[in-house]
Chain A
Amino acid sequence: EDKVVQSPLSLVVHEGDTVTLNCSYEVTNFRSLLWYKQEKKAPTFLFMLTSSGIEKKSGRLSSILDKKELFSILNITATQTGDSAVYLCAVGRGSNYKLTFGKGTLLTVNP
């Protein structure tokens, strides 16, 4: 059975802290790993990773994939209260890139 496991499930930090969110997976026919940020509504896309060892960066957020060890991390530096959200990891598999989601990490950034 395909599995996507995120850790920690929840995290509380102060503004300015750096956080690392983890995602490990076991899926058949892996195609890609995606990170999404979900606030009150639907998820918004952050990154898609397909190759090992290549860091993707967007502002204070960065992510990297290790296809040998089957995990990815999402880093957020200098966190702000607006970063508070659920961060979802999803793995795309098969020819139509069906996504299997992890349960998410609830990040709370306190002022």
Chain B
Amino acid sequence: GAVVSQHPSWVICKSGTSVKIECRSLDFQATTMFWYRQFPKQSLMLMATSNEGSKATYEQGVEKDKFLINHASLTLSTLTVTSAHPEDSSFYICSARTGADGGTLHFGNGTRLTVT
């Protein structure tokens, strides 16, 4: 149980375009999902907390107009990287809590974004 599916697993886009990443909880409902970014050889940095039916909460230093988060249902959150630039190239990972096992977060497989 507790499967989180993330799509796409990798994407290459041109500078200036937008990219949407989907995160789905397959066998549970997630009122809260978290989006992380990981640069090479670095740890996971929390970008934002996605709340079903309300606005996302962004961490300090993360531009909310650049990283648009939508959590329209209890099983789906999306992250859109708008007007992507090469410095946005990174590994983006979503995660969700089941609620049944307290604070355990389950992660999607991540999306490798490369902006050329």
Inter-subunit contact A42/B32 (CB<8 Å): no
- Chain B residue nearest to A6 in the complex (CB): B43
**Set A41, A48, A88: member contacting B44, Cβ < 8 A:** A88
Interface window among A55-63, A71-79, A97-105: A97-105
- Chain B residue nearest to A43 in the complex (CB): B107
A108→B46 CA distance, assembly (Å): 26
User: Which residues of A line the B interface, CB within 8 A?
Assistant: 31-32, 34, 36, 41-45, 48, 50, 88, 90, 92, 96-104
A102→B38 CA distance, assembly (Å): 12
* Interchain residue pairs with CB less than 8 A apart (30): A32-B102, A32-B103, A32-B104, A34-B103, A34-B104, A34-B105, A41-B109, A42-B93, A42-B108, A45-B104, A45-B105, A45-B106, A48-B101, A48-B103, A48-B104, A50-B102, A88-B43, A88-B44, A90-B105, A92-B103, A96-B32, A97-B97, A97-B103, A97-B105, A98-B46, A98-B49, A99-B44, A99-B46, A99-B103, A102-B43
A90→B46 CA distance, assembly (Å): 11
Name the prevailing secondary structure of the B interface residues: strand
Residues of B within 8 A of A48 (CB): 101-104
Number of interface residues of B (CB under 8 A): 22
A101→B38 CA distance, assembly (Å): 11
User: In the assembled complex, how far is the CB of residue B98 from the closest CB belonging to chain A, in whole angstroms?
Assistant: 11
User: In the assembled complex, how far is the CB of residue B96 from the closest CB belonging to chain A, in whole angstroms?
Assistant: 11
